[in-house]
Structure 1
């Protein structure tokens, strides 16, 4: 019956935990003494123990009796390291079974690291702490905060994959949780922009300023060769306006437009918010980039085109309703009416209109009457008199101030300079374009009625017959007698 006895005991775990077992004593891999088949093993063991004087066994830690420090011996205990990872990475000394490259067996039968911290790694690897900006774990020599010293299922012995998972073990993951996420961040590719060890640039960036962004955004390189580059790009870089990680605004803008622009252009914010007639393109619902290129332009103030009018007509190519009426499809109007006002000929709408808004009707830069009849005052025509000689409306008689005269009788004076019912310029003139000469309208709007003017351009003067009135003519050389 005893011959079939099978049991296991841990003889020195309670009494003498550091005792070495004789070689003839079979053990299983948990350090327990294993007896089977014959009671004789038990007899031998008990005899051995009784003959051993108390206190004569040397103290020995777990590595006592180790004959050789190689990977095969190490794996007898460190079985969790024995199986290589699938599609991962293995540290070269570990793969070669050279555990003692990093671990050293001491006289007290303990293994210790041959050097501390990063010094150990730099025995083989080039130092990674010599540049101006060094990653915190590298600076403190804690390479194993990111890398496994043995093997990993991830590239470069990293402890996690994607690499962003590793980064967010220390860095705030909230930076990547907004609505619009930078593509490298969304893909967990922090190392597209950051060096994980060291860099000559702030935040361990792999390039400085705009050069970092141009590594991917190559299409911007040609644009930034233009004559005028947005100052923030030159002084700060792309991150002056864009978050490199994520934001709740399109294009990863730091703020929504136009508030982002107002961060620097505070004078424009104050102006736009106080004007009586704001431009829809730049008010609270608009965007500065409707007219301006936010990166670069060949033209001063970064307009999207050389001529202001080309920019204006990207919106004013259809009838537009406003809070004060409506605006014609100006693109079509200019095509249908070939006689253009001087500013239109030069493509500069901003001569008369302020593109950021104005306290004057129709976003005009200076005063101009808004009603059909208006008492004449020079200051009320400041806009026109910026270009035109004000004498054309001040002199009753002239031979040079205007071509609109009958003999020397100034007909501009007659129509405009009336203290009670002076007619503003646009009663007769279209200030943008007309089909006929002199910018004379085909009709004059009076209330809801369009009064036809019936203007004829004659060799030395002209003739008109507005509405149901008799025709009236003028001649610059001699006074025409009208009815």
Structure 2
């Protein structure tokens, strides 16, 4: 867009006006309506343009027929044509030298902005929770910059106006920010300013109604709650009393929104009524709990949480089978909740379950609970609760799991959880879900009615009578006919001619389960074959000695003589 083009178009419009005025001398009167001068008028663009001369003609008597001295344009939509937005030119600017991430948010810290589109979608919708789309933060809507009440943005902030000789014009002659609207733009409607004021300082403290603000003003959670707090409890000494209502998790100071409001207009120094724990929570504090500070149960003000409502969260675990973070079946409280004070019938985990009721339902009949989910604020172990996505994981799934499973974990009752990180480092032949980094294909990250948090039934034993229901986990991916059919031509590679050797080992009264021969995570042998197999309950390990051949394979596990199978 150039000022030269604008000047020519203005001259054209003025010429048409003079021409119409000339014809009026011969064809009667021509009414040229006057348009009121507003902030969005041509006078904001350049000095007033007066009509220098008119053709000599008898002037009509009516004042309405007098042509105007100034041609007024309501906005630049009548003057400027649409122009393309040059991304390359903007990215090269000093203020946008960081590339895509300057305008497109949801970018993790430390991540290179190069080739964003190779992983992230460019549509407004989030394609996946792990790789959200590139949402336009600035230039997707022009009004994010060109809005009068937001800041002092002028054309010169992005555009350098020049004449033909390269001399910059007076910035005062530039159009106002609200006039920068092309013909392709939607009609401009000024948004309501998110500044709320009140002069009624004598009114009592009232509750903040999220629903009303969200519906009336179009606010989203992230407009107020963006990972910080009001200076870790408001920042002003007068607001640190227990009676002051704390807004936990707000990014900026209160004045970032209430920037024209005096604190005293909302907060007076009158003494507030004391907080009544029994009235607000339904659980009266006993003599011992009343002596505690709020933070001993609820955490620091900056990380305020609803307690897990499990006595063992605070009290020493002096008896066996008390909650250790491993599973609900180990908790005495999980089996005997009768007679507890109101609010303690069902353990809550933070306040997340108030909204995530679908997740809360998984704990009702679970026999095994994931360790972090059993803790008071365990959701934060796996989830970034300040992120803008619906179910934001703190990291990619396998990397997140290995932050804890990089060591042997105590599961209680003499059991342990294997060091998965070391197992994967030592064994390169990985089970499909492990190879794909999809731990949740087999394990529920919250709670389960199966051992080891498995999503479906899978027998933990090495030797068991055949029951297809006990192999539901395996046959969520594999073909169940591998253990139901005696003949397996083409069904499985583990066959001698067409005799199905999977059926031979598994489908019998004293069957060998899948885990007798296969490692469920990774192995250095083909087909995830184990190095050894346990013998009875003696603790002995019998080596399998499996070798792969071109036509099949051979093994000598000790439970039978060396055997060779041949598919040909």
Q: Alignment RMSD, CA only?
A: 3.6
Aligned-partner Cα distance in 1 for 2:376–2:201: 47
8 Å Cα contact 1:135/1:197 also seen in 2:
no
Aligned-partner Cα distance in 1 for 2:381–2:486: 47
Computing the radius of gyration from Cα coordinates, the structure with the larger value is 1
8 Å Cα contact 1:292/1:302 also seen in 2:
yes
8 Å Cα contact 1:404/1:410 also seen in 2:
yes
2:299 maps to 249
Aligned-partner Cα distance in 1 for 2:497–2:236: 86
Structure 1 residue 378: Cα displacement: 1.9
Residue 453 of structure 2 corresponds to residue 363 of structure 1: yes
8 Å Cα contact 2:197/2:258 also seen in 1:
no
Residue 556 of structure 2 corresponds to residue 461 of structure 1: no
CA gap 1:376/1:182 in 2 versus in 1, 3 angstroms = closer
Aligned-partner Cα distance in 2 for 1:184–1:410: 63
Structure 1 residue 174: Cα displacement: 2.0
User: What SS class does the counterpart of residue 282 from structure 1 fall into?
Assistant: helix
Unaligned runs of 5+ in 1: 1-130, 140-161, 205-245, 478-483
Structure 1 residue 260: Cα displacement: 1.9
Scaled by the length of structure 2, what TM-score is found? 0.43
Selected match of 1:426 from 512, 515, 527: 515
Aligned-partner Cα distance in 2 for 1:320–1:255: 27
1:452 maps to 543
Aligned-partner Cα distance in 2 for 1:296–1:402: 46
Q: Deviations over 1:282-305 (max 9, x none)?
A: 01456011111112267x621122
CA gap 1:163/1:323 in 2 versus in 1, 3 angstroms = closer
Residue 241 of structure 2 corresponds to residue 173 of structure 1: yes
8 Å Cα contact 2:430/2:522 also seen in 1:
yes
Residue 474 of structure 2 corresponds to residue 384 of structure 1: yes
CA gap 1:329/1:163 in 2 versus in 1, 3 angstroms = closer
CA gap 1:252/1:336 in 2 versus in 1, 3 angstroms = closer
Selected match of 1:322 from 376, 388, 411: 411
Q: Deviations over 1:160-182 (max 9, x none)?
A: xx9957x67xxx9323599x999
CA gap 1:465/1:132 in 2 versus in 1, 3 angstroms = closer
Structure 1 residue 197: Cα displacement: 4.1
Aligned-partner Cα distance in 1 for 2:398–2:437: 5
CA gap 1:285/1:183 in 2 versus in 1, 3 angstroms = closer
Aligned-partner Cα distance in 2 for 1:408–1:444: 26
2:391 maps to 301
Aligned-partner Cα distance in 2 for 1:312–1:134: 49
How many correspondences in the alignment? 271
Q: Deviations over 1:143-193 (max 9, x none)?
A: xxxxxxxxxxxxxxxxxxx9957x67xxx9323599x999999xxx97677
1:414 maps to 504
1:400 maps to 490
CA gap 1:387/1:181 in 2 versus in 1, 3 angstroms = closer
Residue 381 of structure 2 corresponds to residue 313 of structure 1: no
Structure 1 residue 445: Cα displacement: 2.4
1:471 maps to 562
8 Å Cα contact 2:488/2:498 also seen in 1:
yes
2:129 maps to none
User: What SS class does the counterpart of residue 445 from structure 1 fall into?
Assistant: strand
CA gap 1:434/1:163 in 2 versus in 1, 3 angstroms = closer
Unaligned runs of 5+ in 2: 1-194, 204-233, 268-293, 309-348
CA gap 1:434/1:134 in 2 versus in 1, 3 angstroms = same
Selected match of 2:463 from 350, 373, 380: 373
8 Å Cα contact 1:367/1:381 also seen in 2:
yes
1:124 maps to none
Aligned-partner Cα distance in 1 for 2:260–2:548: 79
8 Å Cα contact 1:320/1:328 also seen in 2:
yes
Selected match of 1:136 from 181, 186, 200: 200
Aligned-partner Cα distance in 2 for 1:444–1:457: 18
Scaled by the length of structure 1, what TM-score is found? 0.50
Structure 1 residue 384: Cα displacement: 0.7
More strand by share: 1
Q: Deviations over 1:357-415 (max 9, x none)?
A: 21111111001112122221222211111110111111111211110001111000000
Structure 1 residue 203: Cα displacement: 5.8
8 Å Cα contact 1:164/1:190 also seen in 2:
no
